[in-house]
Each structure stands twice: as structure tokens, then as C-alpha cells.
Amino acid sequence: MLDAEIVVVGAGAAGLSLAHRLPAAAPHGAASSVVLVDPPPGPLRPPRRTWCFWEAGCGRFDRAATATWEWLRVHGRDGTAVRRHIAPARYKMIRSDDFEALVERDLKDRPGLRRIEATVGAVTVLPDATVRVAATDASGAPVGLRARWVFDSRPPDRLPAARTRLLQHFRGWFVRTERPAFDPGVVDLMDFRTAQPRRGLSFGYVLPTGRHTALVEYTEFGPAPLTTEAYDGALEDYTRRVLRTGAMEVLSTEQGVIPMTDAVFDRRAGGCDRVFRIGVAGGATRASTGYTFAAVQRQSEAVARAVRAGRRPVPPPAHPARARWMDAVLLRALDTGRVDGPDLFFRLFDRVPAARLLRFLDGGSRLSEDLAVGVRVPVLPMLRTAAELPWLPRRHLPVR
């Protein structure tokens, strides 16, 4: 049995971010012991992916950033464009391989930290208030771990009960074009010149890394993912017809599905005060946008501060209660078709000052700012949705 102060299950964004912040020494000068458990290579490891977020000034993981920008652009369906300068904030792009390499370099030889490869099974609280983590290594041999605290970033077996759930599903191409087709200073955050689905909405998303290179994604908010062939058809249409890229080479691809739900995620696994869920499993994904990375950093920093202070390290809610309620209203309004999604998002970027909108999207805006944003959206449909929301039951919605 390997004893530790803390076991972190999963070495994705949440697990690595927390391990990167945990102190090398426990309170009162005792040697800290952190075990980071990563599944062996195989289907349990997440695929390569890209994370984006915005922040002001230098960030903890800037050394891993592929690119940063201070201009964002949104295109309406008719081609009208809105550009917003977000300085002093910058929009940052980090690829998972670069992030993992940076964290691995920083954690290498850190005293009190051990990293192992194992598949975690049952997590059980023992009578002495420690937690036993049962696992097996790549050969199938048992690995026993015991800790005071466990932070589990594994995806839940099923999502909590919810009133509404949409899926943000996407496929992206990393491309190189023959002619200079991109503006490396501007991110196309939402480009609604894509063919719109019958239900939900779609948009193009362009992260230029040079005049000839970019990550170009086709994204939908809707009930179900598409086939790979359908995504590629949509990307072909968007790059050729809308972006007019001309001849290009697809260097690599990425694809994913992010649940957008008003479910309440329990940060205590099974209600236990010793085992906590972090990352997506702990509700870090913003329901209305799908952004996760910045909330993971806020949760990780709060947990690390609690550990350093010797307090119970319960991860705080990733987003304020008022932001979660507004997300629930928006998701319901989109799912029922009461609001036109492309029109709503274009209005927000067109009519709300950039700094206020970013605070709103981060959940850091004041009530007066929320009200100022609220009057920029279709008021009557949103009020109708808000009025009905408390009466809707939460259900375990099937995968569609």
C-alpha cells in the first residue's frame, strides 16, 4: 500500500493543473506526498486537444501557448463583422501536448511528488477517515493507494439530472494554405456564415497561427454529434466557400463533444468529504459557452491555497450561482427555439463593450452589468423561459 497525503486521479488539464500548484511541503513543515495517477496508454487517455481562454497579463502556462491574440471577431449570417479589442486581456491557445510537456518539466524531481500509471477502480473511505484507491497497472497487477484527500478528474459514468442538455460538438482541421489566407492578429470566435442546422446553431471558429496556418473548426450547439464525413463536408464548405482559402493541406485534426447542461455537479464524490471531483467532472465547464480551462485554474488555485493553509480543500463552485442560473435560461431558450442563436450571440458582441462581455462570460460581472447585458438579448422570450424554469423537473437525459 502506497500512502500519500493527496492522490490526484487523472493527468489531464484538471489533474496536471492541480499537481502543478500543490505545495512541495505540507502545513507545519511536514513532507508533502502527492501521487498523480495517469491511466496507461490506451482508450482511457483523452485524445490530443486544444484549450483556449482569456486572461490579462502573464499567465502561469504562457510558456506552453501556441499563440495569443488581442482582437476577436464575430461574423453574422449576412457577413457583417464585429471586431473587438480585448486588451489588456489576451485570448490564448494551448495545445495539450505542449501543456503536458511544460508541467512534466516543472514537476520533474519535485520532492514529495510521485507519478504512476494505473487504471483507477473503486475509491473507498476507510474507518480511520483515510481513502483507499484501488488501481491496476498496465500488466493487470493491483496497485494500492491510501491518502488523506483524493481529487478525481475522471468523467462521470453519466451526467447528473438536468432540465436541459445540448451538446457542443465540433471537428477542427489544422491547415496550411498555399496563399496567405489568414489574419494572424484576429481570432474569428464565431462565424455564423456556416449552413445553419434545423435545430440549434452552427459556426466557424478560426485560430490563425500565421498567414498560411490556422486551426479551423466547425462547431454546432445541438442535440447530437455528426458523422466524421458530415463534419468534413461542413469544413470543406466553410474553408472553400466562406474563407476562400484556395488550395490547402490538412496537417492534423481534432474532434470533441462538450455537454452544455444545467445539471448540478456535486464536487464531493458520493457526498464524501474526503473525495472531490475536479475539472469537467466537478462542473468546471461553463454551460453556455463550453469554456473550461480558466475555471479549472481558479478551482486548482483555491484547492492549493486551502492545502497550504491546512484547511479542508473543498473545490469551490467553478461558476457563481447567478451565472449558472443565466446559463440555464439561455440553454432552455436555445433548446426550445424561442431565441435565434446566431442573432443572440452576434447582438452580444455587437452591443456590449468587450471588457464587460468578458467579465460576464467569466462569471465575474456585477448584478448591474448582468442587467445591462440582459437588455441586449430578446427580453420577452428570455423572461418567459426564466419564469418556467423553476417548474421544470430535472431528469437523467438520454444520450441522443
The parts of the chain modelled with pLDDT lower than 50 are 28-31, 399-400
Rounded Cα gap, residues 193 and 79, in angstroms: 7
DSSP 155: P
Task: Give the three-state DSSP class for 303.
Answer: helix
Grid cell locating 348: 452580444
Q: Measuring CA to CA, which residue among 385, 278, 293 is closest to residue 339?
A: 385
Query: Given this model, what pLDDT does residue 384 score?
Result: 96
Residue-level pLDDT at 397:
67
Which has the closest alpha carbon to 372: 389, 355, 390? 355
Does the predicted model carry a pTM greater than 0.85?
Answer: yes
> Distance between alpha carbon 7 and the CA centroid of its chain, in Å?
22
Burial class (CB in 10 A: 0-12, 13-18, 19+), 7: buried
From 346, 318, 344, select the one nearest 329 (Cα to Cα): 344
Give me the pLDDT at residue 400, please: 47
Q: How remote is the C-alpha of 361 from its chain's centroid? A: 13
One-letter amino acid at 179 equals R
Q: Is 270 helix (H, G, I), strand (E, B) or coil?
A: helix
User: What whole-number distance in Å separates Cα of residue 216 and Cα of residue 176?
Assistant: 10
Query: Cα-flanking dihedrals φ and ψ of residue 164, to 5°?
Result: -140, 145
